[in-house]
Amino acid sequence: MTKIFYSHTQKDKKFLNEFDTNVCARVGIEAFRSELEEISLPAWETIALQISQSVALFVLIGEELVKFQESNAPDWKFTQNWISYEIGIACQLGIDVWAVCDDVPINFPMPYVNNYCPVGISQKDAFKYFRNVVFQRYKERHNFPFPFGDISTGNNLGVICPHKNCEIEFNLHMILEPGETITCPQCLEEIIFPEGFNLPPTPKKK
């Protein structure tokens, strides 16, 4: 069975449960959830093994994770170090690394992300997209290389951050109207899309 790995904080359990139960499980994909698994020591070896058996790593960023980072709590660094470790392993293995935000702005830098969705699955279109496109594609043993061309729409989802101190490349999995912006997942600077992004094709006039 196809497996994916979730990188997350236990504080966003509601978001994780929705993503796992309502989207991932319905497609028949197994997910490793570290806070629900009995991890044998040393933990880093178990995590590395689970990531090596996965087709992609999903960093799930919910409201509680954002609040956790902003709180400057002493144990935030512990969580951040685990996320960085997991991303590093995924990059070494060459598997996709996703940042999925539950309708919250990302507020900590995430290098090496190659797929980015700032829209939560509570939105109907995003829910369908993950279930019918993203996880179905992984189930068929395909990934999302940069730049990814959406066959169904003909749109190229590839984005390069325009800020010279960054220039990260990633696939952006969302629709933006002209003038809308996103926060870059690496440098956290604003990226504006004057002409919009990934908009549905305009119907041809008869």
Question: What does the pLDDT look like over 120-167, one tens digit per residue?
Answer: 877 788 888 898 889 999 999 899 999 998 766 678 999 999 999 999
Q: What is the CA radius of gyration of the chain?
A: 17
For residues 24 and 56, the answer to whether their CB atoms sit within 8 Å is no
Instruction: Give the per-residue pLDDT at 39.
Output: 64
Q: Give the fold, CATH level 3, of 3-193.
A: Rossmann fold (3.40.50)
Helix axes 43-52, 76-93, angle to 10 degrees: 40
Instruction: Give the per-residue pLDDT at 37.
Output: 55
Q: Parse the chain into domains and list their residue ranges.
A: 3-193
Residue 17 to residue 29: CA distance in whole angstroms? 14
Structure-token match 């629709």, residue found: 175
Instruction: Give the per-residue pLDDT at 38.
Output: 58
Instruction: Give the per-residue pLDDT at 120.
Output: 80
For residues 186 and 169, the answer to whether their CB atoms sit within 8 Å is no
Task: With a cut of 70, list the residues of the chain below it in pLDDT.
Answer: 35-41, 151-153, 202-206
Instruction: Give the per-residue pLDDT at 36.
Output: 47
